[in-house]
Structure 1
Amino acid sequence: MRIKKLLPILACLLAFEGKAQIDVSPSLQKAIQEAIDKNASIRNKDLEVEKISTEKKSVWNKYIPKVEGSANYMYFDTKITLDLPTGNIPVINQPVFDGKQSFDSYGNVLMGSLMAKTVLFSGFQIENGAKALEQKRIGTAYLSEAEKESLIKEVIHSFDQVHLLNEVEKLLNDSEKRLATETKRVERAIEEGLAIPYDRDKIKLANLELQSKKIELQGKRKVLYQKINYLTGYSENQIKEVKYLLAPYMISEELSVENKQELKALESFKKASDYMVKKEKGGYLPVLGAFGGVTYTSLFDATMITPEIPMVNSRLYGRMNEFTMSPNWMVGLSMKWEIFSGFERKHKIHEAKINAEQVQNQLDDTKEKFALLLENNLANYRIQNKKYQIGLEQEKVASNNLNMAVRQYQEGLINISERLEAENDLFKASANKIQILVEQRLSALETLSVTGELTKTILN
């Protein structure tokens, strides 16, 4: 009956070879989305994209005027030394500024300003720097998508392995039921003298082997549940609720690597490095800016004491209540042109060109590697399809042999060992077919992953 259910699947595989059909159930799709939302590496990549976007905005913001306000208060108490050429006062012939003269002064100064500054022309450094960051942001986003594809493949394969264990468990249960029926028949035959205890012991040994395989299966299932819990955060009950048909994946063989996320990321990084070369070349051009604002300056409660004046034999005291300049408006243009920087700009341009060449080399090499990987994965996909078809035939033959062996054993034409060997052959053939099916699905996912179309195929 199980083989009859799988025949339509095989027919679809043969009839639609070359068409991409990756059907994902809603419950599996939800588990994949949960894994993507939970993955720390993907979240960090998305945060990195956001950080680069903020950095790009900061670069463009250099064109936005910056307004600065300041206020300063100062109390000064100082001695001023003045040495002027000596002169004479006419008529009285009195010398003035004879030698060094010292003045004591003290007072208060209050200053305030509100100034605005902006860049008018940066030698295209701002524009090219912002464009480089934008390409870096795009490339980082592509790397995030690449991690999603790898995660999707891992989640689906993990659930496929759970399905594999479930199917193997069903096979073990079926074998156990057949052997239980055979045990009852042998017990009756022994009582009637038509069989010997050896036959019963052989069946018992076969049952013990089944029990051993069940224990091993439970251990593998526990490890798989822990892995899926790490990937998706799902509990054991939630994992069991993920339902879908374990059927072959069918993909087109007319594929290319042009949309591979890692290649698109490298292409964006190459553009970013080209913009960085242009940015560094912009250092040869002058930077123009504009400024404007208003200032306030006030000198108040100031006092100056002169040295003793010979004519009056006393010091003079000068006092100023206030001297204020407000408002003091100003507006202007500024230019900064670094004509010679000691070859620093030349070295930076050379370094940027080297970085661009390195990215280009990496892009060319990675494109060739992915092309080879695609051919290898396609070859493996074709092999798995053929192996799956052979596995179906093997299971069919093993099932027919078992049915025949059961009848022949009941008729006494074969011994118990041959009967159990046929039972074991069917188990091996069925388990092998399911294992090949899981590998066929994985090979299809790996092939689509190389093309960069896996996420779009699964989640869209």
Structure 2
Amino acid sequence: MHMNNFVLKLCVMLMAIAMPSVLTAQQLDPVLQELIQKGITKSHQLNSNRIDAAQAQVDQQLAKSVFLPKITLNGSFTRLNDDITFDENTQNLLIGTQKLLIKDAVGIPFNTPFPENIPLTDVPNLQNKNILKSSVDLDWVLFSGFEATNALKASQHKETSLNYVGLAEKDKVALQIIEAYDKLALVLASKKVLSTSENYLNEQVFYVKKAIENGLATPISRKKIELAQQQLAGKQLEFEHNNILLVELLHQLTGEVKANLRLLNPELQSFSVPEASTSEKRHEIKALEEAEKATLYQVKMEKSNFIPKVAVKGHYEFIEDDLSLLDPQWFIGAGIRWNLFDGNQSRLKSKKAHLESQKYRDQIEDAEEMIVLSITKAELTYQAALQNTTIVEKEIELASDTYEMVNKQYKNNLASINDVLDALNDVEKANFKLQESYFNERRAVADLLHAKGILTY
């Protein structure tokens, strides 16, 4: 292979690496999008958040259930030591009254003794000693003093807050996977650069071997080439290790099969920030605002403890025979409960919830300030990365031209083998720097879009 043809192929490869097509942040690699969705599904933190949101939904159902009637079936058996009866004087009075009524009914004079052939009814017990009861109770809250209503609204805002927390966590998962995916692309790009360097060195080995045979070079030149090959082998081993670690990381983040991850071949492509992209409120801010609203409704819920509550109470006994003479078989009524003083518990709980809302307000203001700072930092980092890319592209051009020139000089005995290897090393370094610059560009854009609340995946 002629050296000029090889250099021409190298330049074509470098141009393909150095000039990738520009993607907007909304146009992620479909493979990467699929990995992000798998990571979102696998995330233990997101699964825990979903459970918390489901618990908030249950709290809402509990608040609503306050207004549903509660129906309770009761059953019991009791045995007293004896029947409960009237005292002896009261029993005599009731028997005497019964005799007078009978005399009056049959027309017997008042002073005439009571006939013995007329039976008398025994005085019933106030309560038999064997008591079997079966009943149903109804309890129905008609008005809770807005306590249940405020509890419902607090739970609704809590659920919304947890949903926003989940969206914020999704962004974090997406950023982690995007970064790991880009690192894999960077490692694979380094493999291309190492492969190019290996081809260079093989060409030099062939040339040095011929030069030694013709007495134009010494074995020292060959040893220097062999050292450069060993150094290259060390870099290739480092590539293999980095590749294994990134596959493990992506497997941990997404749950994707390792064999499939080893088949990935991502390429670094620049992200461009959409012009005049406006910021949207971050999910973290929305979550804090909803949590603040939830605590404010909790304050109202505690204060509503002093508003009168209205409820309906009903009771029905299925077994009438075992009821005492004073027990009704059924009753229904409405009542009011007005808590006038509860030992300051409601007031203190309300104060505690209000302090909690103030804490959320401080967190919101702090988060907004940090977001403004992160936007500025990401914009500056992106601009620096773009400038660095332009510089590195010039470095690649200069390094390639220098290598070509030094290589020609070496073949004409105008330069040493060290000069050739140094020039080759400069080409290799410049290409690594370019891939790192693209990697930094993508990190800055992803961070900027995340800071602005417009990251999509």
Q: Does 1:41 align with 2:45?
A: yes
Quote how far apart the aligned CAs of 1:5 are: 2.9
Cα distance between partner residues in 1 of 2:42 and 2:257: 14
Aligned to 1:227: 249
Q: Does 1:372 align with 2:362?
A: no
Aligned to 1:4: 15
Cα distance between partner residues in 1 of 2:126 and 2:173: 80
The answer to whether the 8 A contact 1:107-1:299 is kept is no
User: Per-residue CA shift, 1:177-213, capped at 9, x if unaligned?
Assistant: 1111111111111111111111111111111110111
Q: Counterpart of 1:77 in 2: which secondary structure?
A: coil
Quote how far apart the aligned CAs of 1:4 are: 3.2
Paired letter, 1:365: D
Aligned to 1:127: 149
1:290 to 312, 321, 326: 312
Aligned to 2:114: none
The answer to whether the 8 A contact 1:32-1:232 is kept is yes
Aligned to 1:110: 132
User: Per-residue CA shift, 1:30-50, capped at 9, x if unaligned?
Assistant: 111111111111111111111
Paired letter, 1:380: T
Paired letter, 1:416: I
The answer to whether the 8 A contact 2:126-2:324 is kept is no
The answer to whether the 8 A contact 1:296-1:327 is kept is no
Q: Give the 3 Å change call, closer, same or farther, for CA 36–398 of structure 1 in structure 2.
A: same
Q: Give the 3 Å change call, closer, same or farther, for CA 118–377 of structure 1 in structure 2.
A: same
Quote how far apart the aligned CAs of 1:52 are: 0.9
Aligned to 2:204: 182
Aligned to 1:453: 454
Unaligned runs of 5+ in 2: 1-11, 97-110, 112-124
Quote how far apart the aligned CAs of 1:256 are: 5.9
The percentage of aligned residue pairs carrying the same residue is: 26
Q: Counterpart of 1:259 in 2: which secondary structure?
A: coil
Q: 1:213-224 maps to which residues of 2 (within 5 A)?
A: 213-224=235-246
Q: Which has the higher strand share?
A: 1
Quote how far apart the aligned CAs of 1:280 are: 1.3
Normalised to the residue count of structure 2, the TM-score between the two structures is: 0.84
Give the total of aligned pairs.
Answer: 417
Q: 1:68-107 maps to which residues of 2 (within 5 A)?
A: 68-78=72-82, 107=129
Paired letter, 1:214: Q
Q: 1:46-445 maps to which residues of 2 (within 5 A)?
A: 46-78=50-82, 107-252=129-274, 254=276, 258-299=280-321, 328-445=329-446
Quote how far apart the aligned CAs of 1:299 are: 4.2
Q: Counterpart of 2:166 in 1: which secondary structure?
A: helix
Aligned to 1:23: 27
Cα distance between partner residues in 1 of 2:304 and 2:13: 72
Quote how far apart the aligned CAs of 1:292 are: 2.7
Q: Give the 3 Å change call, closer, same or farther, for CA 231–145 of structure 1 in structure 2.
A: same
Quote how far apart the aligned CAs of 1:431 are: 0.6
The answer to whether the 8 A contact 1:78-1:104 is kept is no
The answer to whether the 8 A contact 1:74-1:108 is kept is yes
The answer to whether the 8 A contact 2:35-2:254 is kept is yes
Moved more, 119-128 or 442-451: 442-451
Cα distance between partner residues in 2 of 1:270 and 1:402: 64
Paired letter, 1:184: F
User: Per-residue CA shift, 1:192-237, capped at 9, x if unaligned?
Assistant: 1111111111111111110111112212222222111111122332
Q: Counterpart of 2:311 in 1: which secondary structure?
A: strand
